[in-house]
Amino acid sequence: MNTNKNSNRHVYWNPYFGGFLLGLIIIFTFYLTGRGLGASGAMKSSVVALVDGVAPTHARTNAYYSLFLSDEDTPLNTWLVFEALGILIGAFISGGLAGRIRWRVQHSPKITSRRRLGFALGGGILFGLGAQIARGCTSGAALSGMAVLSVGGFITMLAIFGSAYAVAYFFRKNWI
């Protein structure tokens, strides 16, 4: 019997401790940079750099992409990109230390892996579009907004959790 596989199957940090650390990180980020956390800016910078690398003429003449391009620097030279890379590296280190790195698709026995991946892709696309429309992701709009007691941050957080609660009934069979 392989007890090692089962012994670390659900080894996670206490969510309250994780939330406490996230709050400390937000305070530290405000102190160091003068602004809060956010991940959508790193994605935007990556897309702009990719478009500039593949079609530089299009990127330079496009009204949106040209806002983030300069002759002196690359769009990837921003602290948000390094923040996102740090999150990825930290996730791999955490997963490796807990023995949870492997190729798998977690899903309910009621659905297939393909359907689960389809819902994840669709949700990711909708989330990315929403972040672009809202000019920021949940970490930028809600967490950092709430950290500075912004009414918009609280409204955003209520909207995120409220809409998730409202549609959870219709998608519950994908997880339970």
Q: Which of 48, 70, 102 is the last residue of a domain?
A: 102
Instruction: Give the pLDDT confidence of 19-75 residue by residue, as tens digits.
Output: 898 888 888 888 888 877 777 788 888 899 999 999 999 999 999 899 989 888 888
Q: Are residues 74 and 151 in the same domain?
A: no
Q: Are residues 113 and 67 in the same domain?
A: no
pLDDT at 4: 53
CA torsion angle 120 125 126 127 (round to 10): 80
Alpha carbon distance 153, 149 (integer Å): 7
Q: Are residues 39 and 81 in the same domain?
A: yes
pLDDT of 108 strictly over 90? no
Alpha carbon distance 48, 11 (integer Å): 38
Mean pLDDT for the stretch of residues 136-150: 79
How sure is the predictor about 169, in pLDDT bands with cuts at 50, 70 and 90?
confident
Mean pLDDT for the stretch of residues 80-94: 89
Q: Are residues 114 and 154 in the same domain?
A: yes
Task: Measure the CA angle with vertex 171, ends 165 and 176; round to 5°.
Answer: 100
Mean of all residue pLDDT scores within the chain: 83
Mean pLDDT for the stretch of residues 94-110: 83
Question: For a pLDDT cut of 90, what percent of the chain falls above it?
Answer: 17
Q: Are residues 13 and 75 in the same domain?
A: yes
Q: Are residues 138 and 88 in the same domain?
A: no
pLDDT at 5: 53
| Contact criterion met (CB below 8 Å) for 107 and 116 | yes
Task: Count how many domains the chain has.
Answer: 2
Q: Which of 45, 75, 102 is the last residue of a domain?
A: 102
Q: Are residues 40 and 5 in the same domain?
A: yes
pLDDT at 1: 45
Q: Which of 71, 102, 133 is the last residue of a domain?
A: 102
Domain that residue 124 falls in? 106-176
pLDDT at 6: 53
Measuring CA to CA, which residue among 111, 139, 144, 114 is closest to residue 127?
139
